[in-house]
Amino acid sequence: MTRSARLAAALVLTGCTEGSSVLDGFNLFTIDEDIELGQQIRDEIAASPADYPILDESEHPDAYSRIYAIRDTVLETSPVQHADDFAWETFIIDDDETLNAFAAPGGYIYVYTGLIRFLEHEDELAGVMGHEIAHADLRHSTEQLTKAYGVQTILSLLLGEDPGLAADILQGLVGLSFSREDETEADEFSVLYLCETLYAADGAAGFFEKLEGASLPEFISTHPNSDTRVEDIRALAEALECDTVLNPDGDYAGLISSLP
């Protein structure tokens, strides 16, 4: 089926109702379109160093090597569906004031130095990165785009009928809020990923627990919290009989010291 035919069929199936709940869980984008959109976002971010001061890997090889090792450990676990489809390019944003991480469609991962410094254990960072990898791997962003903009708008975007629309959507995608359902699923998959590693499977719970005593960070504005989030993550790890002991081989102090 051609792109035009696929989108036309989608219009019929959804009744063309923008914002309708019938779009929940529905995704007009293909895997290749996730990748293409992610590349555009990566290029937009790279062209905006004032807003996104990305550390140069050639100047900070140790920091990137450590981040890549955590990422690759997660990607090697069996629940990751698109480990070989997406590039999984990963970047460190030099901003100590921002407690955030995000993943663009197609697996482009961004981690702020503020988040790295905020955490205390490598397992916690692995949990957060697992959460972001899950958002990309489960294609939550493009599902949310389909729902937020409606089929008619996404049809115009994918067919290239409105060049200005692409720029507007790219700007808004970094701050696109996930649903509670997406957040729960990303939390669950973070546990599933880490359960197959030496990291504590409930590593993400440590991050969310620390947030309870901190001022509201950027992360929560795009990743809505729940009152039982920490308990739910730990309960799932226990139910799956996963290891929840912090990885004794981690060198988190080394990661922090490798930052500028």
Any idea where the domains of the chain sit in the sequence?
Answer: 27-257
Choose between 260 and 39: higher pLDDT: 260
Q: Do 89 and 41 form a contact (C-beta atoms < 8 A)?
A: no
So what's the pLDDT on residue 227? Answer: 75
pTM of the full structure:
0.84
Span 10-47, pLDDT tens digits: 333 333 333 334 445 678 888 998 998 888 889 889 99
pLDDT at 188 over 70: yes
pLDDT at 174 over 80: no
When the pLDDT of each residue in the chain is averaged and rounded to a whole number, the result is 83
So what's the pLDDT on residue 27? Answer: 83
Span 78-98, pLDDT tens digits: 999 999 999 999 999 999 999
- Cα pseudo-dihedral 109, 119, 52, 214, rounded to 10: 120
pLDDT at 99 over 70: yes
DSSP classification of residue 199: S
**Rounded CA separation 132/152 (Å):** 28
Question: Distances from the Cα of 244 to the Cαs of 118, 144, 220, in angstroms?
Answer: 20, 32, 24
pLDDT at 6 over 80: no
